[in-house]
Structure 1
Amino acid sequence: MTLLLSMAAFALASSISPGPVNLVALSAGARYGLRASLWHVTGATLGFTLLLLAMGLGLQQLLAQWPPLKTLLHGAGVAFLLYMAYGLARDDGRLDSGKAQRAPGLLSGAAMQWLNPKAWLASLAGIGAFAANGELSLVGQFAALYFVICYLSIACWAYAGAFLRQYLEQPRRMRLFNRGLALLLVASALYLLLW
């Protein structure tokens, strides 16, 4: 039971803390509402769970054997964060703009996790701490537990965004909100470059 509690605490700490996927969930909740943003939440949760399973089933050994691959993934993650920040900073802030906009969906949520440096670090650290030997039952338990906690954590961010929606209906406020999120993403990218 102690191992499961440790796994749950790790999953909660790494899932609920601010990161690119959570910031997009917050923004999606504010822009599109909770129901529409739950597709992103589901995709991000599935994407992370698959990444965690891949790490547990041997991807971590591949990364250890090929350091350039790890460097390439790190660079792609930083570039992705900057791309997302640029998109948020450029947003006009209108919730009801004439162009048909779609909330981030299932596939984009899943893909985000595979490009998210925080997800890679969390899955590497989690597997290293709880299932380093690749024992299938431990990897499966950790992934199942992480799935539930990850979903609820990202959904909390989407809910917070949906709650803030009433305060962000003015385009100026939404632009400021999105630019603040963009700055957080740039700060994350800079941190990763220096790390």
Structure 2
Amino acid sequence: MSLSLILPMSAFALVASISPGPVNIVGLSSGARYPLSKGLVFITGATLGFVILFLAIGYGLSALLVTFPNFEKWLTWAGIVFLLYLSYRLARDDGEINAEAIVEVPGFFTGFLMQWLNPKAWIASAASIGAYTNNGELTQVLLFAGLYLPICWLSLSCWVYAGAFMRQKVQQPKTLRAINRVLAVLLAGSCVLLVIG
């Protein structure tokens, strides 16, 4: 494969992965709230969830969006309910770190599920496969997924590390509570983008 294909694919993967969105906000919150390893487990789930979704769409799952026009609407509302649930949990967080809170941290499955309930992930995957591959050619889809895997994981990791940096600088539960509420509002606000997008 030539650099003329790899570089644009990599650039797209970087922009799509590092730009703010629900997964990034939860990653930032996890880094600010929980041990670093917990946030990395969450983003590993999100990364693998996206790459598997990407491959599934590359192999024809995108036909669901065409065959069942209501599928996208259902997916949007399922995603909104899930994001509002996560927003609620963030808003109710008391800023104290204890064993019970660490058990409730968004984990691998939460990250994985977030991608499959995110209509933007479906549409972005279908659009990028259409734009950067020749009619979903197998080798090119695999290459794109292979590029997405490390780029997405490293991009999301930056958000977790940013959260961990915030936690080091801000140790007081009252401040962490305020940060969590701001992140909860941002996460809930991303639901508006799903509705109008």
Residue 62 of structure 1 and its aligned partner are, at CA, apart by: 2.1
- What SS does the corresponding residue of 1:99 show, helix, strand or coil? helix
Q: Which runs of 4+ in 1 moved over 4 A?
A: none
8 Å CA contact 2:91, 2:181 repeated in 1: yes
2:164 is aligned to 162
37 and 137 in structure 1: CA distance in 2 versus 1, 3 angstrom threshold: same
- What SS does the corresponding residue of 1:87 show, helix, strand or coil? helix
2:102 is aligned to 101
- Amino acid aligned to 2:100: K
- Amino acid aligned to 1:144: G
2:87 is aligned to 85
Residue 122 of structure 1 and its aligned partner are, at CA, apart by: 2.3
Cα deviations across residues 134-186 of structure 1 (Å, max 9, x unaligned)? 21101100000001100000111111111111233211111111111111112
178 and 132 in structure 1: CA distance in 2 versus 1, 3 angstrom threshold: farther
Question: In structure 2, how many angstroms separate the alpha carbons of the residues matched to 1:70 and 1:123?
Answer: 14
1:38 is aligned to 40
1:65 is aligned to 67
1:177 is aligned to 179
8 Å CA contact 1:63, 1:70 repeated in 2: yes
Question: In structure 2, how many angstroms separate the alpha carbons of the residues matched to 1:94 and 1:115?
Answer: 30
Residue 132 of structure 1 and its aligned partner are, at CA, apart by: 5.9
CA RMSD of aligned residues (A): 1.5
TM-score by length of 1: 0.93
Would you say how many aligned residue pairs link Structure 1 and Structure 2?
Answer: 194
8 Å CA contact 1:78, 1:117 repeated in 2: no
Question: In structure 2, how many angstroms separate the alpha carbons of the residues matched to 1:160 and 1:10?
Answer: 22
8 Å CA contact 2:34, 2:102 repeated in 1: no
Residue 192 of structure 1 and its aligned partner are, at CA, apart by: 1.7
- Amino acid aligned to 2:94: D
8 Å CA contact 1:33, 1:165 repeated in 2: no
- What SS does the corresponding residue of 1:122 show, helix, strand or coil? helix
Q: Identical aligned pairs, as a percentage?
A: 55
Question: In structure 1, how many angstroms separate the alpha carbons of the residues matched to 2:101 and 2:72?
Answer: 38
